[in-house]
Structure 1
Amino acid sequence: MNTAKIGSWVDQAQPILVAFGLKALGAIVVFIVGRWLIGLVTRLVGAGMTRQEIDPTVQRYLVSFITVALNIILVVAILGYFGVETTSFAALVAGAGVAIGAAWSGLLGNFASGIFLLVLRPYLVGDYVTAGGVEGTVLEIGLFGSTINTPDNVRTIVGNAKIMGGDIKNYTAHPYRRVELVAQLAGSADVHKAIALLKESVSGVANISKDPAVDVEILEFNEFGPKLAVRPYCHTNHYWQVYFDTNKAIADTLGAAGFPVATRPVKVYPV
């Protein structure tokens, strides 16, 4: 009798299990095909925006947004295929969104700041900036953070909210920037001769802008003697090369001209 009951249950469950298995297999196929279609759509959208020469920053942002939206639609479609009421699911998602929003207010703040960065465009991909306390080249402006490659080749992701809440310096916005250097002279040095020699030698450093010309002026007087401000101008891409080569030019020029070494004056105390 027990064997008969078990056989009866198996006979009754078999169509249900087969139907569920077919639905599960169909859902897997839909998911795989859907993911493939999402990848195809995002690639086509990206290629279309590239042909239209849309800014890379806008491209990455829109592609990320489209990918997230299409994945949500795919999940809802699969749940509907299994007979889940999508309106109830939408209400559940809305309620969960409120709870998640309260818990992840920082992420939502980063998301909103990312939109402002996209609209206001204080910097673009490829610009050299200081943002959120990090200096380097912008690799990507994401939904929640910006990826910056620092001069020592460290990839750093900075939250967009932190960037929008602080100062942003964009060194690429203008065609040139000023390199700040100094040359310390001894008190007995011929200042006018030193200025003339430094202007001539520093002007020959590679990648220095001719307009504006190199500035060499007296910055201040200290206990060693006059201190000169040496300020060449160059593009951001050549900043550090100009910085180091100008320092070499200052040392070589003053040394070759025989300028005395600046030393601290000896204090004489009364006996």
Structure 2
Amino acid sequence: MTRGVWHNEETCSVTRLTERQITMYLSSNIFAYHSSDVNWCEPDYEVSSFTIEFWNSISGIPMIVSSLIMISLNDDYTRLVPHCRYANVVWWLLAVTGVGSIYFHATLSLFGQFLDEIGIIWLGFAVLAMYAEPSVVFLPSSFNKNRTLYQSLMLVAAVVATTLSFVEPKFNHVWLFLFVVPVVRGVTMKKTRNLNMEKFQALGRNGLVLLALAVICWVLDRVFCPFMLSIRFPYLHAVWHILVLIAANMVFVFGAFDYANQTASKHEPYLAFLPLLGSYVGIWYVAFRLPNRKST
């Protein structure tokens, strides 16, 4: 099977391809190994006879671990920030994406592909719903006065995107990279508004840099697989998982802090860092200077 490309047989007609897709979606074969048309650069079964892409698979574990930690740290945020009672849905969806990634790369099954990519779609819209301003997604300023309506619109958009993904799975990658536009736009807008906050500025800037590096890894693994094989490092998709996770933590918390600073400033939100491996590897989160609680 050729690496890093969609494996559609050139001899198939459009009608036959459509019938094949519909059949695969509805049959139990969606759970079968290699039932997905996607394969990444990492050699199959290189480490384990049960796991097709071992390193791509286990690199999804940090997504689950970090998400559960964030949920435990986010109690004050969901309680104090308006319209963010269900903000932890962002981190639960990141955990689901981690599970989907592990399963997908272990089996390269169509079910795993949908679990992974649809999880990303819902995660993207959840972040926009919770932390982004309507103008970030080019909506009129009138939506600023009705946050519930804006969040409902993001929910509808997620449903539409999911439906399109079932119609044509290649749309999933389109959505993945379309989310980069509001991320960059949102970080740029918020950085301009808070020029006097050095830690806040650095968090947004570093998040974008890591996101750019992650995208480069994705492209190299997807498009330049023969070259990566020639230098004996076909593992950039696993590197993408790690880099995009770190970037996501930074960008999501960047947006969460800015929103809390606008809507719950009386609770004095601030950026906190929980070290996990030494002083430099850890998780950013939004904390509050509450009475009888020491700041970190």
TM-score (norm 2): 0.22
The structure with more radius of gyration: 1
Compare the two structures and name the one with the higher strand fraction: 1
Compare the two structures and name the one with the higher helix fraction: 2
